Structure 1
């Protein structure tokens, strides 16, 4: 499958989850869209892209057509979904639209993505609200640990819970629907950070019971870089605005997000081609293969190093984060040196993380990977660790 990507064949790439990698056929669709746009830029951007001008010659504007296709992929309606550059942008859209007051609380977990934590802290501090962090254990032994921890942390002042669907560093598939249910019973709206979910696991957003869901398509859904989505429950849409206010202000949810100024919209417009490609290859088969390889990697590396598995199989998707032997490094500086050594000395790309004064490696499994890549990683790590 590697021939379908531009990835350097001299590098063993086990880092698909970080920024994704787009197949060449999808890049070709994107380039064709760019060339079409440049032939008549004003017509393409101002009259065909969105309904804002009111003069589109198309029955359905280009962005709405793409949104309808993506929405079907995630079990939703196109009218409830807009495009954003990435999941962090989607999180900021919700946070900057939130009517926070002094003393209010935003709830996050200790496994949240760093950029999301920063955004939540920023908007909380502006309103003199509190950012409350629920400490979750890692490794995790059972999903119920998370649900009960979230339930116990909710208070009458909680105005929003930001919950991961799949955590970034620790690569855990969390019980999002169950967490959302306990928040809903307490009257707390939920913003789901699904950065790693679309394409990686089966996804039906409305069934999760959340109020907002943001995710990336440029990771596991194979779209070009800078392609994310924000789904919003209909009752929440009137109060939501994009971080960049532009000509769509006051004209409705989709109108506001569909035009935030001149930019390259081709990552969004090429996303349906990426989803079609996954269906052509067999979406369920891809997800099954990637999950099995990630789980096998977890078993192989844990057994080889005599370490514990980070979670039960049900909590792993297409990635796994494994602890390195305890005696080998415990600082962020050592993690960075080790990651650089993997790439520049062993021609292998995989994130090395530092958590709780211990080093961890996160393995991403995409269809261009195989178990031999995992074995190569183990040998490279064992060689590089001796140099710390």
Structure 2
């Protein structure tokens, strides 16, 4: 069915390519027809192959990843299971981190008896002031033991220099947990490039797998630093799969992951990233001269991809953000989404996908010029 609007809210989840839809349909039919016989026999071989494909694609060993129902579940297991904390230690996160991950970090106060430090990424952000922000944070708070980092923020689209921050954190004896929900499949990188021992991945955003797929990564020699998930005994203590236990999940989703990886490889990670940056630049560069409209990512190609947010001066509340998104939808047929949680006020998120056209970006630019005059 055709969309009634031009969709610039592709950050929620990614539309499945046709080969993924076909793979999911086939897997679901097989499961329904063969029922428990399939899941108790052939499924194990299939899911082992899925893990192997994921490990190869992300650049690690299969012993370092476990499949989850998304990045949120993966990161909650890593944050809650991190066992090197003791009372009096501190953990830190930033305003641009995902809400559920912030909650998990704050929960460590009760779970581990630590202090929780909330920080705000500088506005406007630059490569250097982001590095300076984390340098000051780590030097000024020597009790920090764990730092949450988000590769690409779901709020503003800011892409952090994760490797540089992770190396700096390690020099201060601080571990990092990295949220790549919005980056893998969007940005061309391997898990080793992040230089972090603990990473949560999503598969239903930029890789294009069915909803409810992700995985976690634990560097092999760091497995003991994450507790077994609710004292799981289905797998041995030295098996990474004991760090997450989800029960019976939608198995057809996972069996369609290889098709999503096939599509991603066929397009090419660097080609995909270039296309997404092009679509982003196409609308952003047409509104940079609008005096009362602020683009929330810097014009530094190291620090953004597809996802970029904007703010119209004086419109920092939820009510005003909703008014702007409603106007874009009703007057221009363009679907965007508001994002709260940014320290200096709400923003409107714009996220193109591969199927968006340059003409879509042009129409968005015209709509934003009109919105800036109206609001």
User: TM over 0.5: same fold?
Assistant: yes
Distance of 2:109 and 2:72 partners within structure 1: 16
Task: Summarize deviations over 1:33-90 as a string: whole Å, max 9, x none.
Answer: 111112222233233334xxxxxxxxxx222211111122212222211111121111
Aligned to 1:361: 348
Cα deviation for residue 360 of structure 1 reads 3.0
Aligned to 2:114: 129
Instruction: Describe the SS at the equivalent of 2:256.
Output: helix
Match of 2:257 among 264, 271, 291: 271
**C-alpha spacing 1:357/1:164, structure 2 compared with 1 (3 Å):** closer
Match of 1:215 among 195, 201, 208: 201
Aligned to 1:225: 211
2:22 is the counterpart of 1:28: yes
| TM-score normalised by L of structure 1 | 0.87
Q: CA RMSD in A?
A: 2.4
Aligned to 2:136: 152
2:363 is the counterpart of 1:376: yes
2:288 is the counterpart of 1:297: no
Structure 2 unmatched ranges of 5 or more: none
Aligned to 1:66: 50
Distance of 2:142 and 2:57 partners within structure 1: 36
- Confirm or deny: 8 A CA contact 1:62 1:269 kept in the other structure: yes
**C-alpha spacing 1:320/1:41, structure 2 compared with 1 (3 Å):** same
**C-alpha spacing 1:245/1:43, structure 2 compared with 1 (3 Å):** farther
Instruction: Describe the SS at the equivalent of 2:135.
Output: helix
Aligned to 1:11: 5
Instruction: Describe the SS at the equivalent of 2:285.
Output: helix
Cα deviation for residue 344 of structure 1 reads 4.7
- Confirm or deny: 8 A CA contact 1:83 1:257 kept in the other structure: no
Aligned to 2:303: 315
Give the total of aligned pairs: 369
Distance of 1:19 and 1:152 partners within structure 2: 35
- Confirm or deny: 8 A CA contact 1:173 1:315 kept in the other structure: yes
Cα deviation for residue 277 of structure 1 reads 1.0
Distance of 2:230 and 2:40 partners within structure 1: 18
Instruction: Describe the SS at the equivalent of 2:183.
Output: coil
Aligned to 1:55: none
2:68 is the counterpart of 1:84: yes
Cα deviation for residue 342 of structure 1 reads 3.0
**C-alpha spacing 1:245/1:14, structure 2 compared with 1 (3 Å):** farther
Task: Summarize deviations over 1:176-221 as a string: whole Å, max 9, x none.
Answer: 0000001111111111111111111111112321010112111111
**C-alpha spacing 1:133/1:356, structure 2 compared with 1 (3 Å):** closer
Which is worse superposed, 226-235 or 117-126?
117-126
- Confirm or deny: 8 A CA contact 1:163 1:192 kept in the other structure: yes
Ranked by relative contact order (alpha carbons within 8 Å, sequence separation 6 or more), the top structure is 2
Aligned to 1:187: 173
Distance of 2:301 and 2:289 partners within structure 1: 15
Distance of 1:111 and 1:16 partners within structure 2: 19
Cα deviation for residue 255 of structure 1 reads 3.8
| TM-score normalised by L of structure 2 | 0.89
Match of 2:149 among 163, 180, 186: 163
**C-alpha spacing 1:46/1:301, structure 2 compared with 1 (3 Å):** farther
Distance of 1:36 and 1:257 partners within structure 2: 29
Match of 1:340 among 308, 326, 332: 326
Aligned to 1:54: none
